[in-house]
Structure 1
Amino acid sequence: MRYLPHSASERAEMLGVIGAADVDALFSAVPKSALKSFDLGLPAHQPEFLVETHMRALAAKNHAAGDGPFFVGAGAYRHHVPATVDHLIQRSEWLTAYTPYQPEISQGTLQMLFEFQTQVAKITGMDVANASLYDGSTGTAEAVLMAKRLTKKNKIVLSGGLHPHYRDVVKAYLKDDPDLVCLSPSPEGQGDILSQIDGNTAAIVVQTPDFYGHLRDLKAAADAAHAHGALLIVVITEVVSLGLLEAPGALGADIVVCEGQSIGNALNFGGPYLGLMATRKEFIRQMPGRLCGETVDADGNRGFVLTLSTREQHIRREKATSNICTNSGLCALAFSIHMSLLGEAGFTRLARLNHHNAVKLARMLGTVPGVELLNKSFFNEMTIRLPVPAAPVVEMLAQAGVLAGVPVSRLEPYNPNVENLIVLAATELTTHADIEMLAECLHAAIEEDAQ
């Protein structure tokens, strides 16, 4: 759609400055069929203060996560982000050094990424981590491609507990590869991925805690995969769980992918987020993205450099592991600062508080007539079954100011077996009053729906 100033004099002045004969000359490269001549009905120009007033009125229509009881999770979680994080990420050392191609002027960014990689490797129990990927879902797809390169095999098996959005991203990357096996959703935690492994399997993908909140036995999965020469890819959407659960690397994982949003990054209406990826040292050259390393300069002073970059912008396209263009630098910085503020002890306390509040939530839900908790184990997320369809109940509670979780039917719209299921999460920000209000509203909504 073409846009030019309204008055003829303004148009003439602009065209004269840029040296265009007329308006049509500006768009000569655009095919005639692509040009739209009708009026879109957009409002006329307004003073800045009126635009601000209008935008504030639109924003006021939103119900933000902090406006009331909030139990939404399913891959994006509401956690407390200290004000210190936002203050520090705006310092000039980070704000002006966008990319670390020139180490002599990018030491702040390079050191931050080095420390970030160290933190990710530590919490995942792996040997090495990259400088982040776009998010957890694309990171999972990159891990699948990495496993295929490493094993020279084709079959990929996705657990029924993998987040549906992650599954869809993997399918998009593999373009409906016939060797991709997507197991049916397993809300009860009974999905059997191990029986799918054979000699042609490159990797199995297991999420823990999974989409429904169940904790998975990674050691058994690793042993079964390795017995057939396959790799174990572990996906974690709630990275705070690593403060309490044993690190995947200690249980035999070969590649670990996490969504790092929970640390340092607010919900932000769905992004931007950051993908964490860590692996074993012997697999480092097949890991996508880039890595920053520590070195010394000619005078023996400590310094940081871009050590390895396997993307197509740096090496021959046919040798590249990925066409990923960048890492999520600002989100990674926020993650690293928040993690540094927490420290190891603080990270563990945060995880314990999340689990403690989830236990209180599970107990309270157990008192609501007709509500069935499906989880035998969980970290801070769980799945419940209602005696009525879940989506209308969630909508009814939203009207009452309670965001009661995610109806699974929203993510699995063609699966009638999940129609009555809700995935709920509790974090350190969940209060006892929030939980009580949820239980009361659930009870009332179920009774009303049943009548």
Structure 2
Amino acid sequence: MRYLPLSEHDRGEMLAAVGVPDVGALFVDVPEAARLSGPIAGLPGHASEMAVERHMARLSAQSLTAGEVPFFLGAGAYRHHVPASVDHLIQRGEFLTAYTPYQPEIAQGTLQVLFEFQTQVARLFGTDVANASLYDGSTACWEAIAMAGRITRRNRAVLSGGLHPHYVGTAQTMARFTGDRLVTALPTLGAHADEDALIAAIDGETSCVLVQYPDVLGRVPDLARVAAAAQAKGALLVAVVTEPVALGLIESPGALGADIVVGEGQSLGVGLQFGGPYLGLFGCREKYVRQMPGRLCGETVDADGQRSFVLTLSTREQHIRREKATSNICTNSGLCALAFSIHMSLLGGEGLARMARASHLRAVQTAQALARVPGVALVNETYVNEFAVTLPRPAADVVEALAQRRVLGGVALSRLLPGASDLANVLLVATSELTTDEDIATLVATLGEVLA
């Protein structure tokens, strides 16, 4: 809808109808001390549209765009090639303007899109069912903890030290209001995840064990071993996947015994978006489906026997009584889910595997090259397309120095864990099929200059 500003005559008519002499009279109930006596100091005055465009362009030029420079950032947000057809299709009016179908069976197109999305997520995760998406990976992680509590009737969750700190923070925020007890730990710098310590923390009061796969340092934990230990104590294993492309190369969490699998779908179709909107993925065993948050689209036949789709389960508070809802934050990121589904459809199973293999190959090449830089040591023995290295000085300073030289060289672990001084020298490095030989050579040469 167009923005049509009011004229002075329009304002006069409105004020007369309200019965006040001027606009200031509408704010008479606001205390004098809370009112501004003039423009806000420091803010520029009005400017023409052309001047604003030039100003914003100058500000934008100060940023490093992912596609302009060698890019090795990851830590939960990844840069992969997204075909132009994805963006073209999601901007079609019937998709772009679609909203939650509160009379769902009328919206057969929306329901079919969500049904196909669920099928793809379930196959990717190795679970029996998947829901029609959640808000993002971190809130999906909390939803898994809450769901496990409902299933086991316990309120103690054990979180692996390899779980992304932002996911841990989200869970801690929510647990303040629910009374759930969270057992957390910092990541260890061993070549492999510390599964012994994780298993030792499981007891008869544990509802679930959360393991990131691959973990925040890029290591691939032994999910089957942790699943067996958790389930022996009556707890559930929750696998958390922040990089779904990795599942094109490693075994699915469901096949390794995970009861619930959650994650972030941003890597496929969505791209980097300055922190959002992103896409929460959620799958589980069929026997737990009635405790699953969000919505579930199902397939049936209509009165004429034709294939059709229905909203089979809807357990969010917008649809049912609040006290009966399984969640109040299970926003369905529908457009992002569509982008994910289109990208997955274009790739197919073999295409996803090729993307994962290419990303892994680049990671191997980068890790081997970095290990030859004096003072740099590789942490991992296992990884897909992300790994950790230790540097001879704080990683945050090195990242800034690299950026000044137009190289986005990775994420300092201290950015995610600012209080962990013993992890200050750890750098997380991620690659993808977009990483080139030139990118790797530039990173290695520039890092050598910075550390010299």
1:316 CA drift (Å): 1.7
Partner of 2:40: 40
RMSD: 2.1
Using a 3 Å threshold, how does the CA distance of structure 1 residues 28 and 82 change in structure 2: closer, same or farther? farther
Q: Corresponding residue for 1:165?
A: 166
Say if 1:185 and 1:16 are closer, same or farther in 2 by CA, change over 3 A. farther
The counterpart of 2:182, out of the listed 180, 183, 202, is 180
Alignment partners' CA distance in 1, 2:145 and 2:31:
40
Structure 1 pair 285–30 and aligned structure 2 pair: CA distance change class (3 A): farther
Identity %: 59
State the alpha-carbon separation in 1 of the partners of residues 410 and 146 from structure 2. Answer: 32
* Shift in alpha-carbon separation, 1:118–1:7, aligned structure 2, 3 A: closer
Query: What is the CA distance between 1:324 and its match in structure 2?
Result: 2.1
Q: Does 1:86 find its partner at 2:91?
A: no
Alignment size in residue pairs: 443
Which residue of the partner structure matches residue 124 of structure 2?
123
Are the aligned partners of 2:162 and 2:193 in contact in 1 as well (CA < 8 Å)?
Answer: no
Which secondary structure does the structure 2 equivalent of 1:232 belong to?
A: strand
Which residue matches 1:134? 135
Secondary structure at 2:282's aligned position in 1? Answer: strand
Mark the CA change 1:122 to 1:50 in structure 2 (over 3 Å): closer, same or farther: same
Task: Quote how far apart the aligned CAs of 1:156 are.
Answer: 0.5
Query: How far apart are the structure 2 equivalents of 1:385 and 1:152?
Result: 42
* Offset, 1:70: 0.6
**Contact between 1:97 and 1:106, CA under 8 Å: does it hold in 2?**
no
1:288 aligns with 2:293: yes
- Residue 244 of structure 1 corresponds to 249
Whether the 8 Å contact between 2:210 and 2:238 is mirrored in structure 1 is yes
Deviations 1:389-418 (CA, angstroms, capped at 9, x unpaired): 211111111000001101111111111111
Q: Are 2:293 and 2:330, in contact at CA under 8 Å, matched by a contact in 1?
A: no
Inter-partner Cα distance in structure 2 for 1:333 and 1:165:
25
Letter in 1 for 2:233: H
Q: Which runs of 5+ in 2 are unaligned?
A: none
Q: Which residue does the alignment assign to 1:73?
A: 74
Q: Secondary structure at the match of 1:270?
A: coil
- Determine the structure 2 residue equivalent to 1:416: 421
Change (3 A) 1:250 1:34: farther
Residue ranges of structure 1 left out of the alignment (5+ in a row): none
Alpha carbons of 1:314 and 1:35: their partners in 2 closer, same or farther (altered >3 Å)? farther
How far, CA to CA, are the matches of 2:345 and 2:28 in structure 1?
A: 54
Q: How does 1:371-386 map to 2 (within 5 A)?
A: 371-386=376-391
Are the aligned partners of 2:358 and 2:432 in contact in 1 as well (CA < 8 Å)?
yes
Moved more, 431-440 or 184-193: 184-193
Distance 1:32 1:206, change over 3 A: farther
Secondary structure of the structure 1 residue equivalent to 2:297: strand
TM-score with structure 1 setting the length: 0.93
Query: 2:267 & 2:17 partners in 1: Cα distance?
Result: 49
By how many angstroms is 1:303 displaced? Answer: 1.4
Displacement of 1:21:
4.4
- Correspondence for 1:432 among 430, 433, 437: 437
| Alpha-carbon spacing, 1:194–1:37, altered in 2? closer, same or farther (3 Å) | farther
Tell me the SS of whatever aligns to 1:193: helix
In the TM superposition, what whole-angstrom CA distance separates every residue of 1:162-191 from its partner, at most 9, and x where no partner exists?
001111000001018572110222232342
Aligned residue for 1:198?
203
Question: Hey, what does 2:157 align to over in structure 1?
Answer: 156
1:368 aligns with 2:369: no
**What is the DSSP-based 3-state SS (H/G/I as helix, E as strand, rest coil) of the residue aligned with 2:74?**
coil
Any idea what SS the aligned residue of 2:67 has?
A: helix
Larger displacement relative to structure 2 (277-286 or 300-309)? 300-309
CA deviation vs aligned residue, 1:401-445 (integer Å, no higher than 9, x gap): 001101111111111111111001010111111111111111111
Moved more, 168-177 or 32-41: 32-41
Cα distance, 1:17 vs. partner?
A: 7.1
C-alpha spacing 1:161/1:27, structure 2 compared with 1 (3 Å)? same
Question: Taking structure 1 as reference, are residues 307 and 31 closer, same or farther at Cα in structure 2, changes over 3 Å only?
Answer: farther
**Local SS of the residue matching 1:394:** helix
Q: Structure 1 CA distance, aligned partners of 2:328 and 2:51? A: 43
Report the equivalent of 1:319.
324
Report the Cα distance in structure 1 between the residues aligned to 2:145 and 2:450, rounded to whole angstroms.
42
Q: 1:29 to 1:137 in 2, by over 3 A?
A: farther
2:404 is equivalent to residue 399 of structure 1: yes
* 1:174-224 Cα deviation digits (max 9, x unpaired): 018572110222232342200000100000100011000110000000000
CA contact (8 A) 1:100 1:306 kept: no
The question of whether the paired residues in 2 share the 8 Å contact of 1:155 and 1:179 is answered with yes
- Larger deviation, residues 412-421 vs 227-236: 412-421
Name the residue aligned to 1:102.
103
Q: Which amino acid is 1:183 matched to? A: A
